Structures are given as C-alpha cells and as structure tokens.
Amino acid sequence: MSARILDGAKIRDEIQAELSADIAALKARGVTPGLAAVLVGENPASQIYVRSKVKACESLGLYSEKMEWPASIDTEQLLGLVDTLNRRDEIDGILVQLPLPPQIDSRRVLEAVDPAKDVDGFHPMNVGHLVAGRPGLVACTPAGIMEILRRSQIPVAGARAVVVGRSDIVGKPMALLLLHQHATVTICHSRTRDLPVVASEADILVAAMGRPAFVTADFIRPGATVIDVGMNRLATAGEVRRAFHDAAEPLRKLEAKGSVLVGDVQPEDAREKAGAYTPVPGGVGPLTIAMLMANTVKAAKLRRGSEQRIASRT
C-alpha cells in the first residue's frame, strides 16, 4: 500500500483563503500590508523566487515592491537601502533574497532588518523569541511544515521526531517548533553516528540537508511521516540514475526539460515505506511562499497592535 501524499498545493490554497479574510479586515481599517523584496544581482533562481513572491502578493491583494540592484553593490549601500525600508511605515515586511554576492556581509545585512519587519524570521531577536516560545515571526519553511502536519492531522505531541540537517533556516527552527508542540526531537547532521539507525526511530522524519535522494529506505520507519525539504535539480543522466531506482520516466523528463527535480528523500522508497510523505515538487515548496505571505500579514498586525489606530496609506 502506497504512502499518503501530503499535498502542499492544497494546503497552500487553504492558507491563502484564510489570509484573504485577514487582509480584507486590515484594509477595512485603512491599511494594506506591504512587502519589499530586495534582489541583488542576476541569479536566475533568485529571480524566479522573487518573481513568484511578488506574484503571490498580487494575487492576495498585498502591496509589494521589487527592488533590483546590480551585483556590484557593496555592504554599506545595501545597509542604506535596508535602513530606508525600516523607516517606511507602509512596508511591513522586508525580504532580502539570498544568496547575496560574495563581497556583501550577508549577516550584517540580515541583522540590520527591523525585527518587526523580518518576514523571513532570520533576525536573532526573532530566533530568540522562537527559542523562548514567544510570539514573533518564524522562518517560513519550518512554519509551513507545521501547517502541513496540523492540517493533515499528523499527531505531533508525544511523537518521536528526527530532523536531518541543522541549518539556521530550516533544521534548527524546525526542531524548536516540533519541541514546542511536545514532540521528542533529535537533530542529526553529517557527523551523527549510525544516522540511518537514528532516523529510522522517527515517527516524523524531516529531511533538510540538501543532498539528492540521500534518505533511503533504511532511514524510514514503516508508517512514518516523511517531510522532504530538499529541492535538488539534476542536470545529467548519471545524476538521475543515481537518484531513482527506476530512472526511465525521470530520464524522459531530463531530455524534455533539461533537468529533473528530486528531494533529499529517495521518492520510491518514501512511497513504499512511509505512512505519509511530501512529494517533490508539490510538497513543502508551495508552503514556503504561503507562510511568507502569512508573516507579512502577521507583521502588519504586530507592528500596529490590535487596538492601535491604523492610518491610511498616503
């Protein structure tokens, strides 16, 4: 019996429908939540990501600005732009698209963003709020995964959860969110001994290490929920054959499109052994942008306060 597919696109649509009601209520009080997306250089993937985020804003009726800067910009110039956005009241969320060019001090730039407008949830103050369990803005991908679990009625309280990957963007905040929902959490990484054995004890397994089809059948406990955060683009036939047991259909896609997407989990193994899993594409990915929109709306509410009078955009 095949695993249940956790449809990220369906859950994204549910969240966006709920956000539409929140946005309408805010507009009735005289404000349209606003997002500024800062794009530096001409990284094709970054351009696609920013374009999709701006498009999502438009579809929900949010105000958005896309600010494009040449790759030659330096740290001080970018800090000046962030400072300007911090002071603009009609901007509720600031998104600095990563990666930034090597000459820019990315940490300084991200820490310069007003924590109240940090819709990526990367600022140390927001990370501190997450650690303490206080209200704040949470990294979008982990927040989206929690929505997948909740809306798919996957029990978290009391569950054994294993997070493979310890990045500041996904792994660490994911572990904290699961912990706050009363899971027993283990974080694994490249130096974890007997990694497949540890992973195979999980009721909920989150794979977020950026290695194509790394998590195979021996990592998965029968019936476990497997959350695949990876988004790896394969561009050669050799890579495709290594990632898939039956590579015939992926090879046809490679020939037609020039690349094939695969997550961090071997997809055929997940289908056969897991109880539920998120496919790639169509699983976690759609939730990341949905939660960015949710954070922008949340920031608009938190910045103004429920009782504070909201001035109209001028």
pLDDT in tens, 144-190: 999 999 999 999 999 999 999 999 999 999 999 999 999 999 999 99
The 10 Å Cβ neighbour count of residue 195 is 19
pLDDT of 39 > 80? The answer is: yes
- Cα gap 220→120, rounded to integer Å: 30
Q: What is the pLDDT of residues 227-278, one digit of tens each?
A: 999 999 999 999 999 999 999 999 999 999 999 999 999 999 999 999 999 9
Question: Is the pLDDT at 313 greater than 60, yes or no?
Answer: no
How would you label 65-83 residue by residue, b for 16+ Cβ within 10 Å and e otherwise? ebbeeeeebebeebbebbe
Asked whether residue 38 falls in the same domain as residue 95, the answer is yes
Counted domains in the chain = 2
Q: Where are the alpha helices (DSSP H) in the chain?
A: 8-28, 44-60, 75-87, 106-112, 124-132, 140-151, 171-180, 195-199, 237-243, 248-257, 267-273, 285-304
Question: What is the average per-residue pLDDT within 288-300?
Answer: 96
Q: Report pLDDT for 303.
A: 87
- In whole angstroms, what is the distance from residue 20 CA to residue 61 CA? 8
Contact 224, 202 (CB under 8 A): yes
Write the Ramachandran bin of 202: left for phi over 0, alpha for psi from -120 to 50, otherwise beta. beta
Active site amino acids: 53, 97, 120
Which residue is listed with tokens 């929505």?
147
Model pLDDT, residue 1: 63
Helix (H, G, I), strand (E, B) or coil at 164: strand
Sequence-distant (6+) residues with CB within 8 A of 240 are: 234, 247, 250, 251, 254, 260
Answer yes or no: do 108 and 241 share one domain.
no
Q: Lowest mean pLDDT of 111-120, 227-236, 299-308, name the range.
A: 299-308
Instruction: Assign residue 51 the CATH number of its domain.
Output: 3.40.50.10860
- Helices 44-60 and 8-28: angle between axes, nearest 10 degrees: 50
Does residue 199 fall inside a structural domain? yes
Residue with tokens 């974080």, as numbered in its chain: 187
Domain enclosing residue 56, as ranges: 23-133+288-300
What band does 311 get if pLDDT is binned at 50, 70 and 90?
Answer: very low
Residue 160 lies in a domain: yes
Q: Are residues 48 and 175 in the same domain?
A: no
Residue at 6 is within a domain: no
Cβ atoms of 291 and 143 within 8 Å: the answer is yes
129 shares its domain with 171: no
